[in-house]
Amino acid sequence: MKFDATDTLCVNTIRTLSIDMVGQADSGHPGLPLGATPLAYAVWAGQLKFYPSDPAWFDRDRFVLSAGHGSSMLYSMLHLYGYGLKLEDLKKFRQLDSLTPGHPEYGHTAGVENTTGPLGQGFANAVGMALAEKLTAEKLNTPEFRLVDHFTYVLVGDGDLMEGLSYEAASLAGTMKLGKLICLYDSNGITIEGSTSLAFTEDVKKRFLAQDWQVLEVEDGNNLDELDSAIRKAKRETESPSIIIAKTHIGWASPKQDKNSVHGEPLKPDEILATKKALGWPSAEPFFVPEEAKARFAEQAAAGENARKRWLKLWKKYSEALPGKAELAKAMLGREIPEGLFNPDISFFDKPMATREASGKVINLMADALPGLTGGSADLGPSTKTDFIKDPSRTLHFGIREHAMGAIINGLALHGGLIPFGATFLVFSDYMRPALRLAAVMQTPSVFVFTHDSIGVGEDGPTHQPVEHLMSLRLIPGLLVLRPADAWETIYAWETAVRSKRPACLALSRQKLPLMTQYREKIAAGLKRGAYLLRGPSTVPSVELIASGSEVSLLFEAAALLEKDNIAARIISVPSFELFREQDKAYRNSVFLPNLPKLAVEAGRGIGWSELVGTEVEVLGVESFGKSAPAGQVYAALGLTAETIAARAKKMVK
């Protein structure tokens, strides 16, 4: 493709709209739009398969702005290409409840593929999207029909590439041969503190070559033709992902070009005018869009319609020729979850079992009903029990890269077609916390499996024993945290997780736990409500014993001890704070009876229970780091035993 003067006008339309937005808001980042717009435009105008009227079209190319602070550029493009953003919306940039918030927000603004801003995340999401494309294509394409066949583009800045996350994700992308992933690197040599050389002198080309990428270089990041030919070359390379290193100038054409201050400080009115003058811009009026540019953008957007029509035809032929595969495709792309995932047969579990073991069974039992179910672990498969037995190709190997795993899971979920999960030890959820937070911000149906969920880890000691993690995950708004108490609860926890439209974490035990088989029906009805009465005494109760996960079995033992003293205890299992909070008051009051002494037990920091259960609750938790010793001894040393629970409850009853 040969670009012309109108294309340059289009590029400058995006630039000037962007700096006008930032100027109007008196807040935002003018540097990236001025410097990197040609990179984005070369993709969209020259290559991107997109159709603004149907932003969710499955086989569209994905475009990710990892450097999310450049949001004004993306919004300008979404406006110009007709994604529904009006000029009025651009004028409300960064204002309360506008469609143009400070950083791009997934689910909020049509055409935004993911929420970006925290650096490195968008890049790793893109790796996940490209992986999803590859995996769904492998499942659904045939030599005749390439039903799934699109590229993933991601625009990154220096910040993205300095974050460890990006190395992890790039390393994996190289190993997985994600040839349809194309990264555009806005290499402007400037960060907030000054020249990148202050802290970043590595050779990015050599770095990506070491990670099995194709590396292409564009000397002049303003040259659309040069960019276009690099993108074409990247598309032709099908084995390796490609990165295009484009030398750019932050704040291009502005009086602050190549200065670090232009990154995040709005240009002043006179600087905006000076920039427009330097660009040869035809108007001093803010938010001016030349008709010629408008027409060119419309033309490009219209071209997407043809691509989509071709795909719809392809889909029709595919459905006719391969009805079975078409059913599969519909189930996968529509994220269909059948009524009965599997029949929880009484024979599944017959002896005490760690909930991680039960989870492994459940994953494999669900695998048939959920063809999109795909996942793996950060090099802990044998411990997290997350391997697919029948079809090992569904097991993903993330390596020892929890953070990339988290962000890639988010990318898989964003892309669609799969029900993705990633697993590691609960203590290492810390390594992926920024990705967990973004899953919650975006409300992607990402599933995270966290085993070894307490001091029950035992000998590995404090570095491997989570203490603060359960409650600190519950602190993330919008994240569903499920901690099943036995193998049966694990079934329903998994079912809740895969049916959830929001991200879910499963916290699972390393150690064996007794089966609560006799309470199966209560579990089936109760788990999804977050907390439920597991066992009420036959007599009038005088105390409530409350726990989550592995500590529930301690309650049964404690209740037996209390019974000897003629103290009758209700036993309440709390697999999920979030689900319980969503229940109506009548239900909540039926679980936690007012005016009854309450003791909550959890192998983790104790704060947070009173907000859930009521202020009268006392908590037996773990307030310090753990210890290295066999698990039972650690529990005893930290005061979590049936005896201590019973003694404490007895004191409360008086």
The 10 Å Cβ neighbour count of residue 296 is 19
Give least dist CB 6 to a copy of itself, A. 33
CA gap 56, 398 in Å, rounded: 28
Roughly what angle, to the nearest 10 degrees, separates helices 642-653 and 552-564?
A: 60
Q: Which residue number, 46 or 174, has a Cβ lying nearer to a copy of itself?
A: 174
CA gap 176, 401 in Å, rounded: 14
Q: Which two tokens stand for residue 586?
A: 């009548």
Give least dist CB 218 to a copy of itself, A. 20
Q: Which residue number, 300 or 446, has a Cβ lying nearer to a copy of itself?
A: 446
Amino acid in position 292: E
SS3 of 439-453: the string is HHHHCCCCEEEEECC
Roughly what angle, to the nearest 10 degrees, separates helices 5-25 and 269-278?
A: 180
Catalytic residues: 402
Q: Which residue number, 6 or 383, has a Cβ lying nearer to a copy of itself?
A: 383
Q: Which residue number, 141 or 395, has a Cβ lying nearer to a copy of itself?
A: 395
Residues 6+ apart with CB under 8 A from 466: 425, 426, 427, 429, 452, 453, 454, 457, 604
Q: Which residue number, 399 or 536, has a Cβ lying nearer to a copy of itself?
A: 399
Give least dist CB 416 to a copy of itself, A. 22
Task: Determine contact, residues 245/187, Cβ cutoff 8 Å.
Answer: yes
Give least dist CB 42 to a copy of itself, A. 25
Query: Sheet harboring 618-620: ordered strands across?
Result: 532-535, 569-573, 543-547, 598-601, 618-620
The region that residue 291 occupies, defined by phi over 0 for left and psi between -120 and 50 for alpha, beta otherwise, is alpha
Q: Which residue number, 215 or 527, has a Cβ lying nearer to a copy of itself?
A: 215
Give least dist CB 381 to a copy of itself, A. 5
- What are the start-end ranges of the H helices in 484-638? 487-499, 520-526, 552-564, 577-581, 585-591, 609-613, 631-637
Q: Which residue number, 94 or 570, has a Cβ lying nearer to a copy of itself?
A: 94
Per DSSP bridges, beta strands 190-191 and 194-195 are: antiparallel
Q: Which residue number, 209 or 568, has a Cβ lying nearer to a copy of itself?
A: 209
Task: Determine contact, residues 380/424, Cβ cutoff 8 Å.
Answer: yes
Task: Determine contact, residues 180/131, Cβ cutoff 8 Å.
Answer: no
Q: Which two tokens stand for residue 337?
A: 């979850």
The region that residue 187 occupies, defined by phi over 0 for left and psi between -120 and 50 for alpha, beta otherwise, is beta
Task: Determine contact, residues 446/580, Cβ cutoff 8 Å.
Answer: no
Give least dist CB 151 to a copy of itself, A. 23
Q: Which two tokens stand for residue 189?
A: 């040599």
Give least dist CB 385 to a copy of itself, A. 12
Task: Determine contact, residues 504/575, Cβ cutoff 8 Å.
Answer: no
Give least dist CB 81 to a copy of itself, A. 22
Nearest Cα neighbor of 145 from 305, 324, 301 is: 324
Q: Which residue number, 159 or 344, has a Cβ lying nearer to a copy of itself?
A: 159
Length of the chain: 654
Give least dist CB 512 to a copy of itself, A. 16
- Phi and psi at residue 190, to the nearest 5°: -130, 135
